[in-house]
Amino acid sequence: MSDAESEPDAGGILVPVGESVTLRNTVAYAVQVAEETDAAVIHFVVPVAWRDFGETSNAERSRSGSLLERVEVWANEDVDGADVSVETAIIGDDEYLFSPDDYAAVLAAYASSNGLDRVVVDPEYSPGGNVPLLRPLEVELVRRGFAVEEAPIGQPTRRQQLLGRGGTAGFGIIFVITFGFYQLLGGFTIVTGDAFDFWYELLTGTITAAVVAGALHRITISGTPHPARTAIRVGRLCLYIPYLVYEIVKSNVLITFIILHPKLPIEPRMTRVQSAVWGGPAITTLANSITLTPGTLTVRSDGHDLYVHALFPAAREGLFDGALERAVRFVFYGRASAAIATPEERGDCEILTETDEEGEV
Amino acid sequence: MNEIRLAAILLLLAGGVFFTFVSAVGVIRLPDVYARAHTASQTDTLGAGFVVLAVVLAYGFDADVIKAVLLLVFIFVTNPTAAHAAARAAYEEGIEPWTEGDERR
């Protein structure tokens, strides 16, 4: 850091980094830019999206640390004797970063205190997990007067954007669903009523569905719709719901017993389960099912990691046994994927709460 | 037939009220914010579930039943989301979960 402060006029480059498939290319590109613009220093920084939660934070911190070590090795490889120094840092850990604006503010503060005037971003960099933050972050940084550029990557990027491509298929799907829902709320007078009802419901339904589909088809449908696959999933979901209801009833009875028990035999623990489901909808389904089942409560989801509060040992064992997880995998990926090992067998679960007692599981 | 239906409706309503009551007791008895969030979901799952079933029986099987079921679907989607939001906010405030032997909060 002292390098940058001693020669601030030469300028420097700031590269926010995180786990991403294109990180290696981004490092190479940042070094290339540094050589072209005679920048004296490149700072690779990891803006952190957590607060100090003890162990969790330490795990994140060591992960970020090893990421930065890797980046530093790569960068020094690319610099190869040129007059560019490489610095790394973890920033923002005294603040809670949430919006693109927060990230931009932390990055800007770091940049100005180290005399950096240029920002290179990884096109696959996604500090917010599933939330698309990159584009607004770039806009914020430009507004703060930085030269921002994205590292060009040879392979096509699959960036998640708020607006999908939409298209006729997406419009059609939303239109049909909305029209169906409209008729449902109208009590199907379109078929049961007289001629006036038919034309009235048809006209108002069509207008409503067209407006909704026009406004939402690019937001709701991200990616290419797969009607067949979706239909299969909905079918499996219909099998899943009775199972979920059974689980809910079972644990409701158990928790009722516990609440009404004079001694209140609870043993709350915070646990972490690395779930073996992939993609937003599947993780959301799993996390919501866990919360719906009394006795387990999803407190936080961080990529595949679900932080689950379990109220009593039976709930915890059920969670580690992964029955719900298996059922959600069945819904989204079919029967074959349901058979993989439980979180306990995989070693993908742990109890985070520390207790004074010995011999806890 | 009507008597059986009436009895079933009353039984379902009683079940709904019972689980909602237990949930309220739980909110009072349980020690911290996370534990209370567990029992709050009882109201929405079995509490509302039984009452909606009673409504379905009371209306008989017509278009309104679909609306009642839809209501249940929306409750099932929004309840865990709200519980998660509350718990997550507590977690991010750094509130440690209560364990046996701690003071009640």
Domain map of chain A by residue range? 2-150, 167-220, 227-351
- Tell which residue, A48, A47, A83, A88, has the closest CA to residue A71: A88
Range picked from A147-156, A185-194, B96-105 for highest mean pLDDT: A185-194
Whether A298 and B79 lie within 8 Å, measured CB to CB: no
Express as a percent the part of chain A with pLDDT over 90: 2
- Residue ranges of the alpha helices (H) in chain B? 2-29, 33-42, 48-59, 63-92
Confidence label for A190 from pLDDT (cuts 50, 70 and 90): confident
Q: Is residue A55 scored above 60 in pLDDT?
A: no
Asked if A267 has any chain B CB less than 8 Å from its own CB, the reply is yes
Confidence label for A221 from pLDDT (cuts 50, 70 and 90): low
The alpha-carbon gap from B100 to the nearest alpha carbon of chain A, in Å, equals: 6
Contacts of B34 in chain A (CB under 8 A): 268, 270, 297, 299, 309
Whether A256 and B22 lie within 8 Å, measured CB to CB: yes
Minimum mean pLDDT among A103-112, A219-228, A236-245: which range?
A219-228
Express as a percent the part of chain A with pLDDT over 70: 77
Q: Which fold has domain A2-150?
A: Rossmann fold (3.40.50)
Cβ under 8 Å to B: A residues 221-260? 245, 248-249, 252, 255-256, 259-260
Whether A297 and B92 lie within 8 Å, measured CB to CB: no
Phi-psi sector, A36: left (phi>0), alpha (psi -120 to 50), beta = alpha
Cβ under 8 Å to A: B residues 33-52? 34-35, 37-39, 41-42, 45-46, 49
- Tell which residue, A134, A113, A136, A135, has the closest CA to residue A125: A134
Length of chain B: 105
Coil, strand or helix: which one is A144? coil
> What are the backbone angles phi and psi of residue A151, rounded to the nearest 5°?
-65, 125
What is each CA distance from A250 to A102, A172, A247, A286, in whole angstroms?
A: 44, 41, 5, 18
Asked if B59 has any chain A CB less than 8 Å from its own CB, the reply is no
Angle at A91 between CA A67 and CA B88, to 5 degrees: 90
